[in-house]
Structure 1
Amino acid sequence: MKTLSLKTTKIANMFQQLHQNFGGQLHRESTEYELDLDNGLGQGLIKGFAFKGGVSFVEFDMTFSENFRVSWNTQHSSPFYFAYCSQGQIEHRFESEEERRTLQNFQTGILFCKPSEANILYFEKGRRLKASLIVINATGAQTDHGTNHLYHNLRKSFFSDRNSESFAYVGSYNLQIAEKIQQLRFISHQGIAKNLLVEGTVHMILGLEIQQQRDDLHNNRNTNGSLTGEEMERVKELSEFITHYAETDLPIKKLSRKSGLSPSKLQEGFKLMHGRTVTDHIREVRIQKSEQLIKNTDMNISEIVYSIGFTSRSYFSKIFKNKYNCSPKIYRKGNRMAAS
């Protein structure tokens, strides 16, 4: 088994070490790093972003050619790691442990390692892995006591004393995080706009991961409802199908047949992923598409209504106004005035 030892959580130094050990092509643009790999160790992409306040984000989309482990030892510091697995699985243990814990597809993990002890992550060969890590360092935007605000609040939240032991938590399935990570991949803006959008989305992911742990503790159990990991994957695939074909007729029975899931499991999955029912989600996707068409095309409102799958212009106008606080006509007028 190949082993890589990382001694830092600073993105620039981390990607230098990854490049030295993995090879590949390293690209940098401002605070964004991207390592493309296609060699004997594996194929894929590792991306990283550095933000203010001691926050960084690392994403793996890799298929390793042999079993691999990363030993992460930052020695004198104790960062928080918020992990999420979008595809495949990750195994983890602290250096002092024998047994490994597993983050499966769509599961969250919170890791805190006391100083001088290493986090060890295991990646399986021949299996595509999509996973992300949000790292919160003690250095960054400071409190009056010289500690990063966010880091300080996390310490207060997770520990009652200052001499914290290593801590690991593997949470429930969470499809909302998968959706946010998917949004990251489709951010096409450049420059400061891209930086702000990526940073905002990463903070939303962090908030969802923290809330997941709170919800599990509140329920006094680690629950994934009645859905298996495979069923959660089908819900995600169906959600992507709806995004691309929202204008078509999509009754629950048809979606149930397509996914192989019962209507009740579909509803449960969509509430987990989107916080709303299947019907409400279809309507939301259609309204979002209509907003883009109103802004970016010369189609009249009636043409837009029918092109996105609605049959009633008055109904469309009502739900559009509920979302954007104005009629479709006024929304278009306002956008054109702003652009002129």
Structure 2
Amino acid sequence: MKELSINSSKSNDMFSQIQACIQGELIEDWGESVLTFNNTIGKGSLRTIDFNWGISLIDCNMKLTEETKLIFESQDLAPIEFIFISKGYFEYSENNTDDFTKLEQFQNTIISHKRNAKKTFQFPKNEHLKINFIRINRKEYLQKKNNNVSQLNQLLVSLFNDSKGEVAFKHGGSFSLRIADEIKLLNNVDANSGMLRSLSLEGRLYLILSLQLLEHKNFEENMNIPEAISKEDILKIHKLTTYILEHISDNISISTLSGESGLSPKKLQLGFKILYSKTVNEYVRQLKLEISKDYLKNSDLSVSEIVYAIGIKSRSYFSKIFFEAYDILPTDYRKHLKDKNTALR
């Protein structure tokens, strides 16, 4: 097993120490630091971005060739970490003991360890890992005007106000595909650089953080996912979203999705309602509309061709639901984009 000790809680210092170990290439641009590696240790990338008021993002997309321990030995006040795993799993321990907690895919997790306590992350080998860490330096964040920390539940209020790091905190919450979808959008922000990209990333990060705080609130108030939806059901529904995307031009019915997933129509509807706050049909329709917007913006397909490509039979029906969703007709939306691009030239 490979072990790496980190003696700082600051993102840039951590990255420098990790780079020294894995010998990757570190590129810094527009406030983002990206470390990529492809060697005997494994293959992948890690990214860090620092925002105002003590908030930072660390995300990783990697596969390691051997089991790896990351041991944090900093004397600093530990950040509050909001962790979400989109792919794979890893284990967490405080005080570097053999008592590890498994953090699972799609589970909302919040941790903060005591000052002077060792924190250990143990990553498996040959497992594709996609992990996001949103980290909050509580002292800096409390200086933010209108931080509204006092509006959180008592557990989190106490944690934010624990300026001496006297309390260890660990929340292994519900499973959420809504957060997974928002993280996917965070990792695919299409602005290339500069202010637009920075604002897009920061906006997405705050949205994800708010969803993670909301999950914690619901969990503590016993409003978490009912027992009728198991982890296995959640994984099946997640696979269905890929199936829907790949068959967007088809007539996607509930009975088709039921047969594809092995879940009953009732459980499908319950799962989509809990995880996406939409019925199955609402989810499919929304996805078709989002894809149609992309076609209108980035292709030369006619509206009729787009209607066919997303599996809607009637152009008039498409125009109706597009207008209901975006308050503009598809033809006017495309014209608006062309006029805007012409004005910029």
**TM-score scaled by length of structure 1:** 0.88
Query: Which range is displaced more, 241-250 or 199-208?
Result: 241-250
Could you list the per-position Cα deviations for residues 161-217 of structure 1 after superposition, in whole angstroms to 9, with x for gaps in the alignment?
Answer: 646511111001111111112222322321122222222112111111111111111
Amino acid at match of 1:244: E
1:97 Cα deviation from its structure 2 partner: 6.1
In structure 1, give the amino acid aligned to 2:16: Q
Tell me by how many angstroms 1:110 deviates.
0.6
TM-score after normalising by structure 2: 0.87
Tell me how far 1:284 sits from its aligned partner: 0.6
How far has the Cα of 1:96 moved from its partner?
7.5
Letter of the structure 1 residue corresponding to residue 83 of structure 2: A
Matches within 5 A, 1:1-340: 1-95=1-95, 99-138=99-138, 140=140, 143=143, 149=147, 158-160=156-158, 162=162, 164-191=166-193, 192-219=195-222, 223=225, 225-340=227-342
Which one-letter code corresponds to 1:39 in the other structure?
N
Cα distance, 1:172–1:110 mapped onto 2, change above 3 Å:
same
**Residue 131 of structure 2 aligns to which amino acid in structure 1?**
A
Give me the CA root mean square deviation: 2.7
Separation (CA, whole Å) in 2 of partners of 1:107 and 1:212: 10
1:312/1:134 CA distance change after superposition, 3 Å: same
For the residue of structure 2 that corresponds to 1:43, the secondary structure is strand
* Distance in 1, Cα, partners of 2:45 & 2:271: 29
Inter-partner Cα distance in structure 2 for 1:257 and 1:180: 27
User: Quick one: which amino acid aligns to residue 66 of structure 2?
Assistant: E
* Residues 328 and 43 of structure 1, relative CA distance in 2, 3 Å threshold: closer
Contact 2:9–2:78 (8 Å) recurs in 1: no
Q: What code does the residue aligned with 1:218 have?
A: E
Deviation larger for 128-137 or 87-96: 87-96
2:151 and 2:28 map into 1 onto residues whose CA distance is 31
Gaps of 5+ in 1: none
Take 2:226 and 2:90, find their aligned partners in 1: how far apart are those partners? 18
Contact 1:53 1:148 in 2 (8 A): no
Deviations 1:92-125 (A, max 9, x none): 1211866222211111111122222222211122
Q: What CA deviation, in whole Å up to 9, does each residue of 1:234-287 have, x standing for no partner?
A: 222221232233121111121222223222332233234322111111111111
Contact 2:73 2:119 in 1 (8 A): yes
